[in-house]
């Protein structure tokens, strides 16, 4: 019979009729057909090059043995590309993993890369082979273990690249703002320096009295302390700027409404500069205040540049902690620092949805002694998922607590929740509720593996409409790479 416009031909065949061909395969080389019980018939499939045997997301019904040619397994990616999962050549078998893992659908596209001939066994026939034939069972399980191990290594590497992409996107957004602010401040500072030079040359033509020098010195000392002026509310600051500008205008100071806000931003009030009016004539007073305003503005711009560079340094430190916080063989790891670094890097994504973060860092101590690694990847996956699940203008809570043995981290969002029927499966490999090609179904599985196998901890989830909470329990002192089923005592 034909399955696809003569590109694939399927015919039932007795197992004894392909006994010679089976003995030349890796799977059945040590298993005479006469010893196979429960499988009398199979199907021989002849397919031309380029034939699709299985579609991604389609039902998985057979275990395949390649007699001639080869088959390629490819996985769809979110960007529309395909990643090669493996190649089965003549004499090899494939398709055992879905049966062994209890999956009913395929994660891969299976196609022939050349004209090929296969034998395919139904699920019942597959289990009969494993039951009756120890040598077949040994080879199939060994092949499956090797494929799963190779795929897990590739999947973990891919998830790390996804985390790196999230990190890079965060840095692109986070570095842009302080970098732009520093550039604008430097440009304005250059203009201020030119104005200061002009005003200084004009002022130098007029000798200063001791009182004038003392007054200017006092104001300069105040200005040079000015990066930490007390913060004011919006209305309070507007009133202060208006009062300062009006006072300067009444004193006949040129550019009064430009100088006023600058002086207020550095913590000045009219009483503090009144001495200068007493000791300067009106023309000199205006020049002195404009010179002083330019100087104060320059100090303010230097403060802005310093703050921007500090912000960039904080981001670099966050990335350093994110990337290298677990590279040493054994060390104390501060969970609060690790969480804050991840929140910093994902800050742009939260701002896009106007999501607020409520931090309740109550763990004391907040450090764990570990040889584990990749904890930042755990926070990135969980917080990133919480952001995706959260509606706009909502809130995410990140909380920590501890006792002498365990340190607990919980991440809570207020989205639609996880349906009860799929909640038990969210940590399974390849399980995802996202559309085909969008989610890999590996993020939470890798999170679970890191927490349990690398840190010896546990992770659980509670969810209902309006709230989902992931809770991670980490032993404060525990050997890494040791899986534990224990958890904190409630």
User: Quick check: 118 and 44 in contact, CB under 8 A?
Assistant: yes
**Start-end of CATH 2.60.120.10 domains in the chain:** 8-132
Q: In the structure, what pLDDT confidence band is assigned to residue 438 with cuts at 50, 70 and 90? A: very low
Q: How does pLDDT run across 300-343, given as a tens digit for each residue? A: 778 777 766 776 776 676 666 555 544 445 667 788 888 887 78
CATH topology of domain 327-475: Heat Shock Protein 90 (3.30.565)
Residue among 143, 139, 132 nearest 39 (CA): 132
Query: Tens digits of per-residue pLDDT, 271-280?
Result: 777 766 666 7
Binned at pLDDT 50, 70 and 90, residue 373 comes out as low
Provide the 10 A C-beta neighbour count for residue 246.
14
Q: Which CATH architecture has domain 8-132?
A: Sandwich (2.60)
Q: Are 156 and 77 in contact (CB under 8 A)?
A: no
Max mean pLDDT among 1-15, 117-131, 249-263, 292-306 falls in 117-131
Cβ(223)–Cβ(296) below 8 Å: yes
Residue 136: Cβ within 10 Å count? 21
The DSSP output letter for 228 is G
Least confident of 17-26, 234-243, 278-287, 435-444: 435-444
Are 454 and 481 contacting, i.e. CB atoms less than 8 angstroms apart?
A: yes
Phi-psi sector, 432: left (phi>0), alpha (psi -120 to 50), beta: beta
Crossing angle of helices 335-345 and 282-324, in 10° steps, is 110
Average pLDDT, integer, range 87-111: 89
Contacts of 80 (CB under 8 A, 6+ apart): 437
Residues whose CB is less than 8 angstroms from the CB of residue 119 and which lie 6 or more positions away in sequence, other chains included: 13, 18, 21, 22, 42, 43, 44, 45, 64, 65, 67
């Amino acid at each position: 019979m034909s399955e696809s416009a003569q590109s694939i031909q399927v015919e039932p065949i007795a197992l004894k009729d392909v006994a010679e061909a089976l003995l030349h395969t890796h799977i059945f080389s040590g298993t005479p057909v006469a010893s196979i019980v429960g499988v009398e018939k199979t199907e021989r499939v002849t397919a031309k090059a380029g034939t699709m045997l299985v579609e991604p997301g389609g039902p998985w019904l057979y275990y395949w043995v390649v007699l001639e040619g080869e088959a390629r397994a490819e996985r769809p990616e979110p960007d529309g590309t395909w990643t090669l999962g493996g190649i089965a050549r003549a004499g090899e078998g494939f398709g055992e993993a879905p049966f062994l893992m209890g999956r009913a659908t395929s994660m891969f596209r299976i196609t022939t890369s050349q004209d090929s001939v296969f034998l395919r066994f139904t699920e019942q026939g597959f289990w009969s082979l494993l039951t009756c034939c120890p040598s077949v069972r040994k080879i199939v399980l060994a092949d499956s273990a090797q494929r799963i191990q190779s795929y897990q290594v590739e999947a973990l590497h891919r998830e790390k690249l996804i985390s790196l992409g999230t990190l890079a996107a965060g840095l692109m957004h986070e570095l842009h703002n302080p970098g732009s602010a520093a550039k604008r401040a430097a440009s304005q500072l250059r203009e201020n320096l030119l104005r200061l030079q002009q005003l200084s040359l004009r002022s130098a033509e007029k000798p200063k009295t001791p009182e004038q020098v003392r007054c200017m010195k006092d104001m300069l000392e105040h200005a040079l302390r000015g990066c930490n002026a007390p913060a004011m509310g919006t209305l309070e600051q507007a009133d202060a700027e208006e009062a300062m500008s009006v006072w300067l205008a009444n004193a006949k100071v040129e550019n009064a409404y430009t100088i006023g806000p600058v002086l207020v931003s550095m913590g000045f009030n009219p009483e503090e500069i009144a001495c200068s009016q007493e000791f300067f004539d009106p023309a000199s007073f205006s020049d002195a205040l404009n010179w002083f305003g330019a100087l104060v503005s320059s100090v303010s711009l230097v403060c802005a540049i310093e703050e921007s560079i500090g912000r960039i340094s904080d981001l670099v430190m966050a990335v350093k902690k994110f990337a290298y916080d677990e590279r040493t063989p054994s060390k104390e790891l501060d969970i609060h620092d690790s969480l804050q670094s991840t929140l910093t890097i994902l800050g742009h994504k939260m701002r896009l949805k106007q999501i607020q973060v409520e931090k309740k860092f109550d763990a004391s101590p907040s450090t764990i002694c570990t040889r584990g690694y990749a904890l930042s990847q755990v926070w990135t996956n969980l917080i990133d998922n919480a952001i995706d699940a959260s509606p706009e203008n909502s809130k995410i809570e990140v909380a920590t607590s501890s006792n002498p043995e365990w340190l607990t981290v919980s991440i809570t969002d207020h989205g639609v929740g996880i349906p009860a029927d799929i909640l038990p499966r969210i940590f399974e490999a390849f399980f995802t509720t996202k559309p085909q090609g969008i989610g890999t179904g590996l993020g939470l599985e890798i999170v679970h593996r890191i927490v349990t196998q690398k840190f010896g901890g546990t992770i659980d989830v509670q969810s209902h409409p309006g709230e989902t909470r992931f809770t991670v329990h980490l032993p404060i002192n525990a050997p890494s790479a040791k899986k534990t089923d224990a958890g904190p005592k409630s």
